[in-house]
Amino acid sequence: MALWEIYYTPTSVEETLQLLARYGSQARLIAGGTDLLVELERGVRKASVLIDISRVPGLDGIVLEGETLRLGPLVTHNRLVASSTVRERAFPLAQAAWNVGAPAIRNRGTLGGNLVTASPAGDTIPPLVAMGATLVLRSVRGEREVPIRKFYLGMREVDLAPDEMLAEIRVPVASPDERGIFLKLRLRQALAVSVVNAAVIVRLERGIVTRARVALGSVAPTVIRACEAEGVLVGGPLTEERIAEAAALAARAAVPIDDIRAGAEYRREMARVLVRRALAALAERREREAFPDRPPLLWGRSDGRFPRLAGRTVRHTAGGDEPIECTVNGQNQVIHGANGKTLLRMLREDLGLTGTKEGCGEGECGACTIWLDGIAVLSCLVPAPRAHGAQIVTVEGLARGEKLHPLQQAFIQEGAVQCGYCTPGFVMSGAKLLEELPNPSREQILHAIAGNLCRCTGYYKIVRAIEQAAVRA
């Protein structure tokens, strides 16, 4: 059964707002789809109409205006990571974005989607709460501004009417004497929801804290501020004793629950540990040490922005015959009957391109990695109508005639394949990495393939194959 009935691709904000006004709670905006498609698949959310805003112009800006950073809701996590403005003036947000999922998730997942999903573990929320961001909401009725703390009403509940969209995020940037950090505790290095996360910002004037913000995620139904902890920090230096006292008070603010990831007591204790570590790092000016200078993004040579769709709103109905017209591996395709499917299913079932594999169907394994307009994404989380007007490359499109891609050759030579199920995904991630960073370090390779899982080879040969392909290229 199709997950939606009608799929609109508007090409302006005005058209988007008209559609929201017309369909109200029947409709849902979709940006990167990395939350929504999983929710629809699991049946935890229903929406008969999807309105895809991912190609609406004017919603993906990163603009510094005076002391305010104006972010479009479509800014992806990887664009936050790569932006020098965000890194310099809103560093905890760049850190949080770097901690989301893995590269292909960060290429589609947006800041707006993360904020509206309103998970208590959502990684970009604590830095924005600590920085005091304001959200701009728009509808055909007008525009309103909501301070981020007031936007969150309860567990996954936000102050957003069915006909409203999040149109902008305004962030007061750090002053020269302010420093901040985001830390995340998780059960593994990538593709892991926060067990606890924390954003801490302090203003230090001649060694004395004159302002402090401590925001904690995953310890309450919404992200919280630890106001008592902030209070004890102000008025003195960041000494070990004051840090310990603030960390203990932060833990007292937490009201965590037990779930499959951790028990409540563990979470509370880890909130203390994370805040202590964050403050110690700020005291010793170590907050930037774990942040990579050249993070692999899997954009290749693009700037990470998806091209706009020209013309007016396009409508695809799940049971209808409107064609999806796109280019796949250099060939123009007109596909009928795939309007209610994911791109993964369209590639496999309608185009017979079975090289792209389905492992999990939820963004967790990377077997379905393809390139959408030159950017590595997970095709299980892309609705097929999103491919309309787009350029797609699958593993079948990598070889040049009889000549395999250097990485494909290296996989064979290094014996980096056992059952082979994961291989197309690794090859698509690895080839995109080599396009972007022809001589990647071991660490960059590990970051690039962090979203690709292999159950057979143990990764060593895969990493060696990427290194070998880099040497030969």
Amino acid at 185: L
Cβ proximity to ligand FES: between 112 and 366 the closer is 366
Strands (DSSP E) contained in 318-413 are: 324-328, 331-335, 369-372, 375-378, 391-393
Residues 399, 419, 471, 473: which binds ligand FES (CB under 6 A)?
Answer: 419
Residues 358, 373, 396, 435: which binds ligand FES (CB under 6 A)?
Answer: 358
Question: Contact between 105 and ligand FAD (CB under 6 A)?
Answer: yes
Residue 327 β-bridge partners = 332, 391
Residues 116, 130, 173, 344: which binds ligand FAD (CB under 6 A)?
Answer: 116
Cβ proximity to ligand FAD: between 40 and 351 the closer is 40
Residue 430, burial from CB neighbour count under 10 angstroms (0-12, 13-18, 19+): buried
Q: In the range 364-393, which residues lie near ligand FES by CB under 6 A?
A: 364-368, 378, 380
Beta carbon of residue 20, minimum distance to ligand FAD (angstroms, whole number): 9
Alpha-carbon distance 361 to 341, whole Å? 12
225 torsion bin: left (phi>0), alpha (psi -120 to 50), beta (else) = beta
Alpha-carbon distance 49 to 6, whole Å? 5
Question: Contact between 454 and ligand FES (CB under 6 A)?
Answer: yes
Cα angle 58-59-62, degrees, rounded to a multiple of 5:
95
Are 62 and 86 within 8 A, CB to CB? yes
Are 326 and 387 within 8 A, CB to CB? yes
Are 247 and 229 within 8 A, CB to CB? yes
165 binds, among ligand FAD, ligand FES, none (CB under 5 to 8 A by kind): ligand FAD
197 binds, among ligand FES, ligand FAD, none (CB under 5 to 8 A by kind): none
Beta carbon of residue 318, minimum distance to ligand FAD (angstroms, whole number): 18
Question: Contact between 95 and ligand FAD (CB under 6 A)?
Answer: no
Alpha-carbon distance 163 to 236, whole Å? 47
- H-helix or E-strand containing 406? helix 406-414
Question: Contact between 447 and ligand FAD (CB under 6 A)?
Answer: no
The residue range among 48-56, 233-241, 353-361, 465-473 that interacts with ligand FES, by the rule CB under 6 A, is 353-361
Cβ proximity to ligand FAD: between 375 and 407 the closer is 375
Q: In the range 79-138, which residues lie near ligand FES by CB under 6 A?
A: none
290 binds, among ligand FAD, ligand FES, none (CB under 5 to 8 A by kind): none
Q: Using DSSP, state whether 151 is helix, strand or coil.
A: helix
Question: Contact between 354 and ligand FES (CB under 6 A)?
Answer: no
Alpha-carbon distance 199 to 131, whole Å? 9
CB-based burial, 437-447: b 16+ in 10 Å, e otherwise: beebeeebbbb
Cβ proximity to ligand FAD: between 105 and 338 the closer is 105
Are 364 and 191 within 8 A, CB to CB? yes
108 binds, among ligand FAD, ligand FES, none (CB under 5 to 8 A by kind): ligand FAD
Supply the DSSP symbol for 396.
Answer: G
Residues 180, 361, 385, 389: which binds ligand FES (CB under 6 A)?
Answer: 361
Residues 3, 6, 19, 31: which binds ligand FAD (CB under 6 A)?
Answer: 31
Give the x/- contact pattern for ligand FES in 388-417, rule: CB under 6 A.
-----------------------------x
From the centroid of its chain, how far is CA 180?
21
Beta carbon of residue 285, minimum distance to ligand FES (angstroms, whole number): 38
Whose structure tokens read 């999903």? 117
Cβ proximity to ligand FES: between 203 and 357 the closer is 357
> What are the tokens at 230?
């902030």
By CB under 6 A, name the binding residues for ligand FES.
Answer: 358-361, 363-368, 378, 380, 417-422, 454-457
